[in-house]
């Protein structure tokens, strides 16, 4: 469906894309991962001609889109893009944001465009926000409107450039769910993302980009579990998370602490951060202690290079209780320590689980 050959892009003397050759087939979901500044956004922007490639060729269904005679608006419609920053028209309602392209570019009647737009807003769960302006929506809702607007142009492939990076952590999952749904429906997509769990389970192919090249590509399993090349391994190691499963109050605290130490060492975290992580985990487990007879607790510690932070997530089954609720904590001191160590704490109830997400700055 899309064939890219020897694509390169320079900005003045700066070589951003060096020699990219890849084919994307219909129905594929491709995740593009890699360090910041390696040309991931530029690659997507070259695909839909927001940036003009310096050399190489791009074919869609056999048609050379770099031919000066190519119909650029048509190319952008076929390869429509969703941006990190939503890019909605602020003076238009959600519905109008969707209809405008259909009437102006696709030549649809107002009535048909409105009907189709309502269907798409329903698809992304926002039919009741049809008449709201972007300012009246949360970040997650804005991004879902942006996805619906993209779909309104009947694209053959959607290019997502870090669709959840500008969102509060609480809103990431609603946007990822919509993208998952599109994947299930067979939409062809290329997604630049830092959400590795998501990349792993939504995509059938992962491209690891580094220094303007597709440095390694493979199935999610190959890239995440068994990368072959040095820089991919280093990158994957850095973002890999530590998972720990606690199913009784008699868990092995020493073994857990040792794993945390090894994890911190692998991530090359400063000594003070290690100390703080250990302390935070210990205080949190104290608080979970009364629950451990009757619930299963999952703990995940992940390093996020992009956000320069550590994320510590606790998930437990059982009734809806926020373990850090001030009202139920006799031990004020533990809570105070936790509040001091964590920059943000978010409680969520989802799928019959209580989830606490604590973020720590490095």
Q: In angstroms, what is the minimal distance from the CB of 12 to ligand ADP? A: 7
Residue 31 interacting entry, from Mg ion, ligand ADP, none, C-beta within 5 to 8 Å by type? none
Q: In angstroms, what is the minimal distance from the CB of 268 to Mg ion? A: 24
Q: Which is nearer to ligand ADP, 3 or 194 (CB)?
A: 194
CA distances from 70 to 65, 66, 86, 133, 220 (A): 5, 7, 27, 35, 35
Residue 42 interacting entry, from Mg ion, ligand ADP, none, C-beta within 5 to 8 Å by type? ligand ADP
Residue 39 interacting entry, from Mg ion, ligand ADP, none, C-beta within 5 to 8 Å by type? ligand ADP
* CA proximity to 141, closest of 193, 192, 194, 178: 178
Q: In angstroms, what is the minimal distance from the CB of 34 to Mg ion? A: 10
CA angle, 255 as apex, 250 and 261 as ends, to 5°?
A: 140
Residue 37 interacting entry, from Mg ion, ligand ADP, none, C-beta within 5 to 8 Å by type? ligand ADP
Q: In angstroms, what is the minimal distance from the CB of 214 to ligand ADP? A: 12
Q: In angstroms, what is the minimal distance from the CB of 194 to ligand ADP? A: 10
Q: Which is nearer to ligand ADP, 190 or 284 (CB)?
A: 190
**Residue 159 CB partners (closer than 8 Å, separation 6+):** 44, 47, 48, 79, 80, 81, 82, 189, 190, 191
Residue 14 interacting entry, from ligand ADP, Mg ion, none, C-beta within 5 to 8 Å by type? ligand ADP
β-partners of residue 310 are: 303, 360
CA distances from 54 to 71, 211, 342 (A): 19, 16, 46
* Residue 147 CB neighbours (<10 A): 25
Residue found by looking up tokens 């894309």 in the block = 17
Q: Rounded to an integer, what is the distance from CA 44 to the centroid of its chain?
A: 16
* Residue 360 CB neighbours (<10 A): 17
- The binding site for ligand ADP (CB under 6 A) comprises 11, 14, 16, 36-42
Q: In angstroms, what is the minimal distance from the CB of 9 to ligand ADP? A: 8
Q: Which is nearer to ligand ADP, 16 or 178 (CB)?
A: 16
* CA proximity to 348, closest of 322, 328, 327: 322
* CA proximity to 351, closest of 177, 224, 231: 177
Q: Which is nearer to Mg ion, 34 or 227 (CB)?
A: 34
With both helix axes pointing from N to C terminus, report the angle between 139-152 and 94-104 in degrees, rounded to the nearest 10.
20
Which residue has the CB atom at the shortest distance from Mg ion?
Answer: 41
Q: Which is nearer to ligand ADP, 16 or 82 (CB)?
A: 16
CA distance linking residue 270 with residue 234, whole number of Å: 18
- The binding site for Mg ion (CB under 5 A) comprises 41
Q: Which is nearer to ligand ADP, 8 or 273 (CB)?
A: 8
Q: In angstroms, what is the minimal distance from the CB of 334 to ligand ADP? A: 40
Q: Which is nearer to Mg ion, 30 or 337 (CB)?
A: 30
Q: Left, alpha or beta for 133 (phi > 0: left; psi -120 to 50: alpha)? A: beta
Q: Which is nearer to Mg ion, 45 or 114 (CB)?
A: 45
Q: What number of residues does the chain have?
A: 362
Q: In angstroms, what is the minimal distance from the CB of 255 to ligand ADP? A: 38
CA distance linking residue 93 with residue 91, whole number of Å: 7
Residue 186 interacting entry, from ligand ADP, Mg ion, none, C-beta within 5 to 8 Å by type? none
Q: In angstroms, what is the minimal distance from the CB of 343 to Mg ion? A: 24
Q: Which is nearer to ligand ADP, 16 or 310 (CB)?
A: 16
């Amino acid at each position: 469906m899309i064939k890219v050959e020897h694509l390169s892009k320079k900005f003045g003397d700066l070589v951003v894309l060096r020699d990219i050759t890849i084919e994307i087939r219909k129905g594929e979901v491709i995740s593009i991962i890699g360090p910041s500044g390696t040309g991931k956004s530029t690659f997507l922007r070259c695909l839909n001609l927001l940036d003009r490639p310096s050399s190489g060729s791009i074919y869609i269904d056999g048609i050379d889109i770099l031919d000066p005679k190519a119909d650029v608006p048509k190319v952008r419609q076929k390869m429509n893009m969703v941006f990190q920053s939503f890019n909605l028209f602020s003076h238009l309602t959600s519905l109008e944001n969707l209809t405008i392209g259909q009437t102006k570019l696709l030549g649809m009647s107002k009535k048909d465009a409105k009907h189709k737009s309502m269907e798409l807003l329903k698809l992304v769960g926002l039919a009741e926000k049809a008449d709201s302006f972007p300012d009246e929506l949360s970040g997650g809702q804005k991004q879902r409107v942006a996805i619906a607007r993209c779909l309104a142009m009947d694209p053959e492939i959607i290019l997502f450039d870090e669709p959840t990076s500008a969102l509060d952590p609480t809103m990431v999952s609603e946007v990822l769910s919509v993208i998952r749904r599109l994947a299930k429906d067979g939409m062809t997509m290329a997604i630049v993302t830092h959400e590795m769990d998501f990349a792993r389970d939504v995509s059938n192919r992962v491209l690891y980009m580094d220094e303007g090249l597709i440095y390694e590509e493979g199935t999610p399993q190959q890239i995440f579990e068994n990368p072959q090349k040095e820089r991919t391994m280093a990158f994957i190691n850095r973002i890999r998370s530590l998972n720990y499963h606690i199913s009784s109050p008699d868990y092995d605290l020493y073994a857990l602490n040792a794993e945390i130490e090894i994890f911190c060492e692998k991530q090359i975290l400063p000594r003070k951060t290690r100390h703080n992580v250990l302390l935070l985990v210990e205080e949190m487990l104290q608080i979970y202690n009364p629950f451990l007879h009757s619930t299963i607790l999952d703990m995940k510690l992940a390093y996020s290079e992009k956000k320069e932070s550590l994320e510590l997530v606790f998930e437990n089954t059982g009734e809806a209780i926020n373990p850090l609720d001030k009202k139920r904590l006799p031990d004020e001191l533990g809570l105070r320590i936790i509040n001091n160590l964590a920059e943000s704490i978010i409680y969520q109830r989802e799928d019959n689980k209580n989830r606490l997400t604590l973020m720590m700055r490095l």
